[in-house]
Structure 1
Amino acid sequence: MEPWEMREWHAEYLDACNRHDLDAVRSFVDPAVRRAHLPGGVEAWVADMADLFQGFPDWRWRRIQLIVEDDRLAAHLRGSGTHLGTFRGIAPTRRHVNVAEFAMYRVVHGLITEFTGSENDLELRAQLGLAER
């Protein structure tokens, strides 16, 4: 894909994520996607997102910056939502969180085949009042 096509592709992917449309999200991810330090495969990807959306039903990402190079995307995002449901065993706190996220994707034929990104669990827990920053 050309750089402008990759940018449009990412905008469509982010829109599917922000609609919490897991079937649409699945259509952007290779069935055998590799994720650094996380279980691979599209089902694990979708399950992690479903867990996030259960805990934060209003979760949204906002793109800050996107860099495209060949078949790679580097994205700086802000993710935010209100903790209204159980998330990773944590009962709802009703707190609003806002975290920085950095993600690297390899996209082949319109599908995410590789992913690595920043881990924001510590920041999330801190904002939920469960851990020190």
Structure 2
Amino acid sequence: MEPWEMREWFGDLLDALNRHDLDDLRGFLHPAVRRAHLPAGADAWIDEYADLLHGFPDWQWKRIQLLVEDDRLAVHLRGGGTHTGSFAHVTATRRRVSIASFAVYRVERGRIVEASGTDDAAHICTAIG
């Protein structure tokens, strides 16, 4: 993909995340996607995002910065929502959470094959106490 195509592609991915469309999200992930320090595979990614949405049904991502180089994207996002459901064994606190996320994705044929970054449950759990 050309850099402009990668930017549009990421916009579509962000749209799927913000619509909470897990089926659409799956189309952006290679079935065996590797994630640094997290379980591999699209199923693990989808399950973790579903857990996030269970705890934060209004969760939304906002793109702050996006850099494209060859088959890689570097992204800075802000994510946030209100903790109205159970998340990581913590019952609803009704606290509003906002986190910074920094990630690098390697994309092949329109699917993420490798990912590393900082948007993990530990940061969110710290925010909800």
Question: Secondary structure at 2:46's aligned position in 1?
Answer: helix
Q: Show the counterpart of 2:10.
A: 10
Deviation at 1:112, TM superposition (A): 0.3
RMSD: 1.0
Contact 2:100 2:119 in 1 (8 A): no
Structure 2 portions without partners, runs of 5+? none
Q: Show the counterpart of 2:49.
A: 49
1:35-74 correspondence runs (5 A) = 35-74=35-74
1:77-116 correspondence runs (5 A) = 77-116=77-116
Cα distance in structure 1, aligned partners of 2:22 and 2:120: 21
Deviation at 1:127, TM superposition (A): 2.4
* Number of residues of Structure 1 aligned to a counterpart in Structure 2: 129
Question: Secondary structure at 2:78's aligned position in 1?
Answer: strand
TM-score, normalisation: structure 2: 0.97
Fraction of identical pairs, as percent:
58
Q: 1:9 to 1:123 in 2, by over 3 A?
A: same
Contact 1:99 1:120 in 2 (8 A): no
TM-score, normalisation: structure 1: 0.94
Deviation at 1:126, TM superposition (A): 3.2
Cα distance in structure 2, aligned partners of 1:76 and 1:51: 22
Contact 1:13 1:28 in 2 (8 A): yes
Q: Show the counterpart of 2:24.
A: 24
Structure 1 portions without partners, runs of 5+? none
Q: 1:80 to 1:12 in 2, by over 3 A?
A: same
Contact 1:63 1:75 in 2 (8 A): yes
Cα distance in structure 1, aligned partners of 2:50 and 2:82: 15
